[in-house]
Amino acid sequence: MEEYVCAFLDILGSKDKMDDEEFVVLIDKWFTDLKRPEGSRIVLRSFADTIVLAIKVEGDLPKRFLSVVGIVEYLSQRSFFEIHCLLRGGISNGLLYVGENTILGPALKRAYKIEKEEAIYPRIVIDEKTISDLKKCEDAEYKDTTESILRKDKDNRIYAWSALSCIVNEKGELHPFEKINEIFQEMIKGIEEPAIKQKYAWWANTVNIQLESMWFGERLTI
């Protein structure tokens, strides 16, 4: 086993789409179109409505962590605009065995557990161990960048704030709000179960905080 940064992602609300061949082809195209960071060993696997992403640390945890978050941002954008689904997930670092047909190890186990038990909302929660390891980084530039993309939620869990970047483009400019709102309203249409509604309400509220920080007047409603 070797050390990796590993993300386990759930494509929320996609179960009904999995029988559609176009959906399957789109997911495959996300992987094909991905601009992979140079010099990084990247592993991407998809099964059912989940995605596993891992990048070998190779002695540079902050850089690999930022690469993983960057790819999650990319996947979040593609998922939101192309299949109208949000992502929920966990990111951890640790040992991982990556074979031709197998991915196993503590890092994946922990990322999976975070997604299933701790993330709850459409957010990417970071393992406490990973946060602790990143704080030991001596590279000030990477440390500042890493800390700038993380936020502590009301339940004290740390999540990747920038993974909500599906509402902005690569230049940090807001996508047309009308389109964002149209997709969001389509996602929540017909949802009656309070627990599911609460998850989308969390996302809308978090996006609205970002909109407010950009001095944008309109807000998502649910």
Nearest to 149 by CA among 69, 222, 60: 69
The string of pLDDT tens digits covering residues 178-209 is: 999 999 999 998 888 999 999 999 999 988 88
Q: Which residues, in sequence order, are CB contacts of 132 under 8 Å at separation 6+?
A: none
The two three-digit tokens of residue 173, written as one number: 């400019």
Same-domain status, 163 and 180:
no
Task: Find which of 21-25, 52-56, 143-147, 163-167 is predicted with most confidence, using mean pLDDT.
Answer: 52-56
Nearest to 103 by CA among 14, 41, 29, 11: 41
User: Mind giving me the DSSP string for 99-136?
Assistant: -SS-EESHHHHHHHHIIIIII-SSSEEEPHHHHHHHHT
pLDDT value for 129: 94
Same-domain status, 41 and 75:
yes
Number of domains the chain contains = 2
The string of pLDDT tens digits covering residues 83-120 is: 999 999 999 999 999 988 889 999 999 999 999 999 99
The string of pLDDT tens digits covering residues 26-72 is: 888 888 888 877 767 888 888 888 999 999 998 889 889 999 999 99
Reply yes or no on whether the pLDDT at 141 is more than 70: no
Q: Which residues, in sequence order, are CB contacts of 168 under 8 Å at separation 6+?
A: 174, 175
Reply yes or no on whether the pLDDT at 20 is more than 80: no
Which CATH number does the domain housing residue 130 bear? 3.30.70.1230
Q: Tell me the residue range of the domain where 140 lies.
A: 2-167
Provide the sign of the torsion angle of the four alpha carbons 160, 10, 208, 214, taken in this order: positive
